[in-house]
Amino acid sequence: MEKDIKKYIKEALTTLYSVDVHDFNVQVEKTKDGIEGNYTIVVFPFVKFSKKKPLETAKDLGVYIKSRCEDIASYNVVGGFLNLSMSQEYWINRLNELSSGKKSNTSENKKSSIMIEFSSPNTNKPLHLGHVRNNLLGDSISRILEKNGNNIIKVNLINDRGIHICKSMLAWMKWGNGATPESTGIKGDKFVGDYYVLFEKKYREEIKELMDKGINEDEAKNKAPVILEAREILRKWEAGDLEIRKVWETMNSWVYAGFDITYKSLNISFDKLYYESQTYLLGRDIVNKGLEKGIFVKDADGSVWIDLTDEGLDRKILLRSDGTTVYITQDIGTAYQRFEEFYPDKLIYVVGNEQDYHFKVLKNILQKLNKDYSERIEHLSYGMVELPEGKMKSREGIVVDADDLIDEMTITARNIAKENGRVNELPEEEKEAAIKKIALGALKYYILKVDPKKQMIFNPKESIDFNGNTGPFIQYTYARICSVLRNAEKMKIKFNGKVSAETDLVDLEIDLVSILSDFENIIADAANKLNPGIIANYIYDLVKLYNQYYHEHTILKEQDIKTLQFRLLLSLQVSETIKQGMYLLGIEVPEVM
């Protein structure tokens, strides 16, 4: 309707004031609460055409547009704002259109092929709460962009090599005594992560011993025996040492098995996996070619750098003096490989904001290498997630593992359902499935409702509350509507998906149809801003409004058959919108709670 109103306003300006406003921007907004009307037009920009006061200009436009558009029941003018009230028949027709699947607006965005990289774990530790936010954002953004008409390629770059991996390897080789995940009963990624923590413990002890002998901290960090051993393992790995490679493959296989379990629990999947171990050599080759062309420079110690000080950045190392690569080297290779393989219109990296500088440097290097895809790279930078008690520290083992978090959420959901839910009436298998949906819904919604750019604190107890802006509250409303519809079926109340235009509507029904009509625009907005929170908070607003309506107006006890059928269709459409919106957040909605 906003497009139609803009068209009528431009037509009115041309007819009434003889001006060409083809390219003129007409602002149409939702009318603010407390003011009569559904749509509001800002009139002040038009007075230069009318040569009249805003009040008179608004009245001119109101009379004209009402005479041309039968969907407009009335208009009023407040200051320099023209407020339009749509007819009840218009809102009934909108509900009928929505229920039939007809869209009021078609996205004007160009449909694109978009690659989204997310997760990108290191194979030296299990996925933790920080990874959970990354995975949920990547998955939801993928769903939203796909719903908006784009072709999506979900990829995961496994960071399976480097000094951090060598630390876990060294610790296991020195102190593991041949233990395995099978022999200890510990999940593979957790098993390897324990050795990463053990390495850091031994490393700190050695640093302290050296400092106690009078060596300064920086020198102690570089001369601690375990870090020297870890660097030697990295050198041997890059040289293809068979024994080191065998240990590396074995330990990584343990981690991958653990990752697969966690991804399955979160319902996360990828179209392609990339491995740093398979891309870093390509990156090194590209850097060496850039060195030959004078794009990069080699220092006296043999290390390769790029000087970006003229760009407001620093000097960045690309190859160490021993020839080993750094993170950005493999990112250069991976970017090249992806654009050669898929040639996407856009490559979105879902990575925390601590890597903002890294991606500025990456884009700059690719520009200097004359890679035409440098401008098609986008960094979805998100804020860190913390616990109420503060930051997590992987090296010290002070983290919340994703698996432990999911288990904790599931236990809490089970206890709450046991106390006050209808889930207990379900067969055991269905009950457990519903409880898992509630637990994951709480986790995912609590994280995704926050603007990705913002740092957030995750509070498990708050997330699973059945009241307020939470996943379970929304899921409960969906289940409530399902119950209403099931009871209508039991009562043999028939409605065919289309209601009579003669139905009398209450204000809340108009408000609900109005917010339902916004759904496609909300999806487009969330896609443009890469922000699932826009959808999450839209669904919450819809649910709040429906619950108010549910408490103030009868549905199944309504005596007027036309009103009853309208209310059932309205409830059905609300439930479908909840289900679709929650799907875009990666959340399932149980039909019984």
Residue range 402-584 forms a domain whose CATH class is mainly alpha
pLDDT band at 57 (very low <50, low <70, confident <90, very high): very high
Q: Which residue has the tokens 């339902």?
A: 516
What is the amino acid identity at position 544? K
Domain map (residue ranges) of the chain:
2-86, 118-396, 402-584
Cα dihedral 518/521/522/528 (nearest 10): -170
In this structure, the number of other CB atoms found within 10 A of the CB of residue 492 comes to 6
DSSP symbol at 29: E
The string of pLDDT tens digits covering residues 283-328 is 999 999 999 999 999 999 999 999 999 989 999 999 988 887 888 9
SS3 content of the chain, % helix, strand, coil (to 5): 60, 10, 30
CA angle 592, 427, 404 (to 5 degrees): 75
Sort 399 into a burial class: Cβ within 10 Å, 0-12 / 13-18 / 19+.
Answer: buried
284 contacts 325 by C-beta, under 8 angstroms? yes
CATH number of 118-396: 3.40.50.620
pLDDT of residue 426: 82
DSSP symbol at 589: -
The string of pLDDT tens digits covering residues 338-363 is 999 999 999 999 999 999 999 999 99
Six token digits for residue 31: 């009318």
CA 353 to CA 453: how far, in whole Å? 8
Q: Which among 161, 323, 166 is positioned nearest to 232, based on CA atoms?
A: 166
Q: DSSP H helical segments within 449-506, as ranges?
A: 460-463, 471-490
pLDDT of residue 390: 54
CA 236 to CA 19: how far, in whole Å? 77
The string of pLDDT tens digits covering residues 505-521 is 999 999 999 999 999 99
CA 297 to CA 275: how far, in whole Å? 27
pLDDT of residue 23: 80
The string of pLDDT tens digits covering residues 356-393 is 999 999 999 999 999 999 999 999 999 988 877 655 45
CATH label, 2-86, candidates 3.30.1360.70, 2.170.130.10, 3.20.20.70, 3.40.50.2000 = 3.30.1360.70
If DSSP codes are grouped into helix, strand and coil, which group holds residue 495?
Answer: coil
261 contacts 310 by C-beta, under 8 angstroms? no
